[in-house]
Amino acid sequence: MVVTLDTGILVRATARSNGPARRLVDGLAANSAHVLALSPFILGEVGKALSYPHLQEILRITPDEVHEHVAYLRRIARIIVPQIGIPVILNDPDDDPILYTAVGAGADVLCTKDRAFYAPNVARFCLGHGLEVMEDVALLSRLLI
């Protein structure tokens, strides 16, 4: 299975985490039957989000750990450079590169908690590309990791 994880999931998947997001990332890395597909955009967004001082304080993560986390994601993922098409997520155009990463990778699943990805027009777009949108706990259950 090819899976794209959005920024919110990846931010919660740092080495200090033991929640579903981290278990999902580690499970995908450990199972050669699955592919984690990310893009330079997503990696950049993860690094940017984790560099916010208030988030570093909440997650108790250092700048070095931010760098290590992004490097880990880069190592375990297939990195693709998607072609961005017409806007799909109208209330947050910054989410379109995540959606197009999943489409460009031929992902089976886009894992996100972001409600914008569950809007009817986005759901139709995803359906047309054979892409299922689901949250991390549901994906963990499906993958049995």
pLDDT, tens digit (0-9, with 9 covering 90-100), for 12-56? 999 989 999 999 999 999 999 999 999 999 999 999 999 999 999
> If pLDDT is split at 50, 70 and 90, which confidence band does 92 have?
confident
pTM: predicted TM-score of the whole model, two decimal places: 0.94
Mean pLDDT of 63-85: 96
- The DSSP 8-state label assigned to residue 33 in this structure reads T
Mean pLDDT of 91-98: 90
| Residue 71: how many other CB atoms lie within 10 Å | 12
pLDDT, tens digit (0-9, with 9 covering 90-100), for 95-135? 999 999 999 999 999 999 999 999 999 999 999 999 999 99
| Residue 98: how many other CB atoms lie within 10 Å | 27
> If pLDDT is split at 50, 70 and 90, which confidence band does 78 have?
very high
pLDDT at 145 over 80: no
For 81, the 3-state DSSP assignment is: coil
The single residue listed with the structure tokens 């108790």 is 60
Q: Which architecture does CATH list for 2-143?
A: 3-Layer(aba) Sandwich (3.40)
CA distance 91 to 4: 21
